[in-house]
Structure 1
């Protein structure tokens, strides 16, 4: 009797010890709370991280490019950000740069938004127009590459530097002809300004004219990969589980956004989440290889494009930017999206 009781107590202590031995992961979003963060926020609210033995703390970000530098500083272990920022930093600091482990946006969000009356539909239409861009952002840095790939002298483009928050107001007023934006940001900035981005604006998407880049996904520090690969695997598994779930239950993703930040605009961020699924995550490629993965040859071409646009001293190898080592099986990453 006593032996059985002692064994039960020992087992209970062992189980308690196991439950307490969670791995802490500090995770940074790409910006303030947005609908596109829903997979991470659903994994948090539904306890999917906990089920993987992880204690994940999620903080708001300062820009999808800043996710990389936040992780490089050691303040964060992982985050949601732009793979092109990994490419830039891996060119000079490859041992410190985080690695993309779950590529979420298969379609690039880089675009020129313009009022339809300006007639901007192709790169040739940009000549003679006044464009507004924020210095250092991928769209602004890559506009010259877009021009060259389409037979246009970049010197024929007139780009005015401005703060990101001025782009849509100046576009609406007609002070600029086109804004160099992220679609998922510019679209909803226009909505916030009581505009109809579908009916009244054109969107010249870089991916349609030779700059078929990747963009946001989940990246982790090299230290975490080296010290605790199982934690990385669990992090990816939890986020993928939530991302796939939102595909058939978008309402769950919308609820997770507000559960994380009750000051977020519920309708706007729900629509932004749907925009991400319909226009950035779904593609022929993601249907073939699943969420989280990417095509190595396409990434190699992307590295060439980023190296040209940012005048990088070296070109990092694909393996220095992305690894599929931690991805769940393909069958678990097949996105079935049900529009609401």
Structure 2
């Protein structure tokens, strides 16, 4: 009897192992850098596979590009700026995406300039020239920032630069300022020899507390057809975040496996800046990783709709769903990351 029961159990286990995995094609918002470590470490440690998923992760080329590629079906899920998603969903009502896990509880977008450029406060940007890639989230969000500080966005000129040339454009005097993520441009400028005390930084989150940052996004049709896969992806990702917070070096090793040329010390610092400034916030500590506050999302939507002069103001359910989040107990995390 015991042998028969054991054989039956082994048979059930083998059936489970034989079940086909759900493919999930995932795009990041940018290159393989420190802040992407939780996604990559979850893959390397088999967390996605243990959830029955076959996950592939590609680098990205900006939030707007990531959202467009997910919407087009090139990817099933992605990592992208929530505000860019609001704009996309408003302009594409028949092809909307959903944010299902808020990673950056505050937007990392910022304007950087240097002392001596005549810019001491945000309104001094009037008549100045900023350099940024076309799809840069900080550039796309600039009208929201301008609205918050009482600046006419049309009075600021933008020039297009490729990502590697953004910070050099500021350091060499080719532009009065740049837009970029705080933890990216700060470290890149410092790496170019710019002293932190010579930087003038306007972090969007210091002027408008309503804006969220990057989130995990998914196509609606994929989420509807594969709700268990979306929930499984988030369970695995939470484990990746917890591991990286507990051991940042392990996360950086996962990044290095994708790009052996990274500056590990720099990327570790970038990771810690992202985690401790934008992920491990009072809200995420109170409500768990990945969560949002509904009233704040509503204000976020209204701010984006006004600044972008969008034709409609979306409901929360048109941009966000918490139905795939793991239970709060699983999403609690201690910190800060060191």
Q: Name the structure 2 match of 1:118.
A: 117
Paired residues for 1:254-293 under 5 Å? 254-293=252-291
Q: Name the structure 1 match of 2:32.
A: 33
CA offsets, 1:231-267, max 9 Å, x none? Answer: 1111001101111222222122112212343343322
Paired residues for 1:208-287 under 5 Å? 208-210=206-208, 212-287=210-285
Gaps of 5+ in 2: none
Gaps of 5+ in 1: none
Q: Name the structure 1 match of 2:187.
A: 188
CA offsets, 1:281-310, max 9 Å, x none? Answer: 122222221210011111112112222333
> How many pairs align?
336
* Contact 2:81–2:137 (Cα < 8 Å) also in 1: no
Q: Name the structure 2 match of 1:85.
A: 84
Q: Aligned partners of 1:73 and 1:307: how far apart in 2?
A: 23
RMSD between superposed Cα atoms in Å: 2.4
Higher mean alpha-carbon deviation, 163-172 vs 67-76, is at 163-172
Q: Which of 309, 322, 325 lines up with 1:324 in the alignment?
A: 322
Distance 1:261 1:129, change over 3 A: closer
Q: Aligned partners of 1:339 and 1:321: how far apart in 2?
A: 30
Higher mean alpha-carbon deviation, 138-147 vs 109-118, is at 138-147
* Contact 1:130–1:177 (Cα < 8 Å) also in 2: yes
* Contact 1:105–1:280 (Cα < 8 Å) also in 2: yes
Counterpart check, 1:151 vs 2:137 = no
Q: Aligned partners of 1:291 and 1:268: how far apart in 2?
A: 25
Higher mean alpha-carbon deviation, 221-230 vs 260-269, is at 260-269
Give me the TM-score of the superposition, normalised by structure 2. Answer: 0.90
Give me the TM-score of the superposition, normalised by structure 1. Answer: 0.89
Q: Aligned partners of 1:236 and 1:339: how far apart in 2?
A: 20
Distance 1:248 1:18, change over 3 A: same
Q: Aligned partners of 1:119 and 1:248: how far apart in 2?
A: 42
* Contact 2:280–2:336 (Cα < 8 Å) also in 1: no
